Chains A and B, each alone.
Chain A
Amino acid sequence: MKTLRQRNIRDYFMVGLLYVSAIAVLTPLLIIIGYVIVNGISTISIDFFTQELGSPARAMQGRPTGLVHSILGTLVVDSLALIIAAPLGLGAGVMLSEYPDHKLNPTLRVLNDTLNGMPAILKGLLAFALVVKPMGTFSGLAGGVALAFVMIPIIARSTESALMTIPWSIREAGLAIGLPRWRVVLSTVMPAARTGLVTGFLIAFARAAGEAAPLMFTSFGNNYLPNHWSGMIFGPVDTLPQRLYSLAISPYKEWHAMGWAAGVVLLVFVLGLFIAGRILTRQKYQA
C-alpha cells in the first residue's frame, strides 16, 4: 500500500504532465495558424482580389495577377452545393426527428454517419462518375455536386439535433389546436429551431469550403475567369482550396507567395463561417 505522501506526489506529477502535454499539443497547432496568417497577409495586395491568375509568365514578369476567379468560383461552387444539399439534408433531418418510429430511420442514421465519415475524395470520384462523365466536361456543377455530398450528412445530422431540442409539448400544442402534422413541423417546429438549422448550414458550408480533394477532378480548375457567367457552372472553374494546392506544388516562387495569400484568405473565410456558426449556437443555448 502506498503512503498518502507517495499518492500526492503522483497526483502532482500527473497534473504537471497534463499541463505540459496540453501546451505541447496546442502550441504547434497555433504556430501553424499564426504562421499562415502572418506570411499570407504580407503577400496579399489589392491585385489579389481584382486580377485573374493567367499563365506563370504573367507572375514571373511582374505583371499584376490575382485570384479573383478562384474566389468567385469558390462562392459559386459552394452555393450550388448548398442549394443541392439543403433540401436533402433538411428532409432527412426532419424524417429522423419528426417521424422517430419510421422503419428506415436506424438504417438512415447509420448510413448518414458512415457517409459523413467517408473520405471526401470518394465523394469526388462519385461526382466524377455521375456528372463529369455524362456531361463530358469538368464543370462547376460537378464540383457543386461533389461538395453537396460532403454537406448532406452534416446538414442531416445538425437538422436532426436542432429539431430534437424543440420540446414535444410544442408539437402537441400544435396538434391540439387541430393543425395537421405537416403544418406543425413547417410552422412551429422548424421556425422555433431556425437558429440551429442555420448553424448547421454554416458549419456544413465551412467544412465544404475547405475541401480541395473532391474538386480536383470535378470542377478541375481554370487559370482564367470564364467569359460568361454560365462558364462558372458548365465549364471548368477554379476554387480556392484546389488552386492553393496547385500553387503550392508549382515550381514558381511567385506562385508560392500567392499560395500563402490564398491560404490566409481561405483560412479567414472558413474560420469566419465556423465562428459565426458557433456564436449563433451559443446565443441560442445561453439566452
Chain B
Amino acid sequence: MSRTLAGEAMLFVRAARARAYVRIVGSFREPNGLLADAVFPNLGMCAFVMMYRALGAPAYYEALAVIGGILTTYWVNVLWGMGAQFYWEKQAGQLQLYFAAPCSRMAILAGMAAGGLLASMLRSLVGVALAVFVFRVQLEPFSPWHLAAVFFATMAALYTLGMIMASLFLLYGREAWHTCNAFMEPAFFLSGLYFPIRTLGAFGAVAAALLPLTLGVDALRQVLLGVRSPGLMPVRWEFAALCGFAVLYFFVARWSLRHLENLSKREGRLTQRWQ
C-alpha cells in the first residue's frame, strides 16, 4: 500500500504513462486512421498556402499559414481529445472506473495530455514535411532552443486549458459539448491561425491575446519568420504570458476537478450516462 510521497509520485507516473499509452498506440496501430488523422487534416493548411500563392501574396504569408495549420492540430486535440474525452468516457460507463481507482485524476489528465501531444506531433510533422518539401516554404534561421521553449510553453498552456474543459464534463454532458464547439471556430478566427493577427486591428489583437493559442501562434511566427512577422508583443513577453497561463490553468484545473467531482457526486451525475 503506497502511502509515502514517493509512492504517490510513482502511482501518478504509472497512471499517467498508462493513459498516455492508449493515445500513442491508438495513433499508430491503425494505418487507415494514420492517413485520416495525420495526412488529410493538413489539406486545409495546404489550401491556404495555395490560395496565398495564387493571389501572389508575399512568401511569408505561406509560412504564416503553415505555422497556424500546425498549431491547429494541437488545438483540435485539446478540444476534442482532452476537453471532450471525459464525455466519451462517461457515455461508455468508463469514467466510474477512473474515479473508483486510487490514482489522481490529474494523472489521468496528464496522461491524456502527454499522449495527445505525442500523437498530434505526427500530424504536425507531416504538415512540416509538406510545407518544406512540397511547397518549399521558407523559414528564417532560428534558434532551436527558442523554438523548443516557445513550443512547449504553448503546449503547456493549451493542454492545461484542456484539463479545465475536461473537468466540466464531470458535471455537464451535452452542455459542455456545446462549450467545446463554441471554442472551435471563434478560436481559429481570433488566433489568426491563417492570417496575420494584426489584421484584427488593435482592439481585436488585444482581445485575441487573452487566448493562449494566439500568443503561441504569434510567438512561433516571430521565432521562425523573424522580422517578416512583426508580433503583438516581444517574444519573451509572450513566452512569460504562456508560462503564466500554464501555471494558472493547472491550478484552476486542479481546483475545478475537485470541485466539480464533489458537486457531481452530490447531484449523482458523475456516473450518469446519456445526459
Our verdict on whether A and B bind, yes or no, reads no
Using a CB–CB distance below 8 Å, which chain A residues touch chain B?
A: none
Using a CB–CB distance below 8 Å, which chain B residues touch chain A?
A: none
